[in-house]
Amino acid sequence: MLPLIVGMVQVSLSLGAQRGQVNPADPYSRVPLDGLGFTLLLVGPLALAVRRAHPVAALWVVIAATCVYVDGGYSYGPVFLSPIIVIFHAIQTGHRRAAWIASGSMFAFFVVYATWLLPHAQGWFHHAGVGAITLVVLTAAEMARARREQRVERERVQQEEARRQASEERLTMAQELHDVLGHSISLIHVQASTALHLIDDHPEQARTALATIKQASKDVLTEMRSVLGVLRDGAPRSPTAGLSRLDELIHRPGLAVTKEIRGTPRPLPPGVERAAYRIVQESLTNVTKHAPGAKATVALDYGPEELSIRIDDRGGTGPGALTDEGSGNGIPGMRERAVALGGSLTASAHQFGFHVEARLPIPPVAAEDTSEEAQ
């Protein structure tokens, strides 16, 4: 609709403009519109119709039509609307050089026309005014182009950041599912092996193992729903497990775990809570796999700026139920969690069992909390 609107505006307002610029008694006044004048007024709007497909060609056609119109002696006014629009569009679409050259050419024509072709030559004040208007149009177009590019770049960065966050969330969910499934399925496997071994001679003990399997399968389903819940719209982006659930983890049947707490427990960042829980979970999973029946100790030490986590077991009372499965990704995965938070993790065998120790940086204790503890 823009070419139609511009054509109607240029024709109608030019008819009004010539009333004050055309004087039949003055031989030096502007001339009234005729067939050529109306045609030139419509050439610009028609060229605007193809500005998207041929922006440079439309630019030069509009500039040429405007110059011919002015040279024909027709009234000044709305005819300059088409050049303003086509110059603005050319700069917006990246044809800056063509826009500046065409604008300079039109300015040069106006200087020549006003100096040598008009009956009364115009001075430098007129030329400066025309040049200033031309520069205003070009500057406004350049500023609009710069803003547009900044907006496009900002949107691109936001989209890339959204994709990066989505990738990180998918990676986090994959790690969570790996840990949940690894721990629970290992426990189920061990207890199922125990039940099969005891079901003929000690059915009551086999019943206990089956009850453990039932509870473990229920827990893994619940935690999987919690992890996958982040895929729903509006779901909270909170960790699925933290140190508040540590007692549930170490008091499961089939595990003989003692918990030790040093320092004053306090709320920790969600990432630290989740990593600490998963490190303990993976360590106990390894105990279940490779040292069934072993007694283990989980020690948490809340320091001023560091959380120390130690898991020790004293060796199993029988062969590991999953020792034939080969090495997995348990220890490297725990180490990756610790390193991602700026901490460290060590794991090694000792004379009677296995030892895992992780150190995770945590926010320092506030001065008020320190003074209260001292009192």
Q: Identify how many contiguous H helices and E strands the chain contains and give both numbers.
A: 11, 5
Q: If you compute the radius of gyration of the chain from its CA atoms, what whole number of angstroms results?
A: 40
Enumerate the domain spans of the chain: 2-122, 160-374
DSSP 171-204: HHHHHHHHHHHHHHHHHHHHHHHHHHHHTTT-HH
Cross-strand pairs, 357: 310, 346
User: How would you write the pLDDT of the chain (375 residues) with one tens digit per residue?
Assistant: 899 999 999 999 999 999 989 988 888 889 999 999 999 999 999 999 999 999 999 999 999 999 999 999 999 999 999 999 999 999 999 999 999 999 999 999 999 999 999 988 899 999 999 999 999 999 999 999 999 999 999 999 999 998 888 787 777 777 777 777 776 777 777 778 778 877 878 787 777 778 878 777 877 777 677 666 655 544 444 445 788 888 888 877 667 888 999 988 998 988 899 889 889 988 888 887 777 777 889 999 999 999 999 999 887 655 444 444 444 567 888 898 899 899 999 998 877 788 999 999 998 876 445 444 444
Q: Note the CATH number of domain 160-374.
A: 3.30.565.10
**What does the alpha-carbon distance between residue 167 and residue 173 come to, in Å, rounded to a whole number?**
10
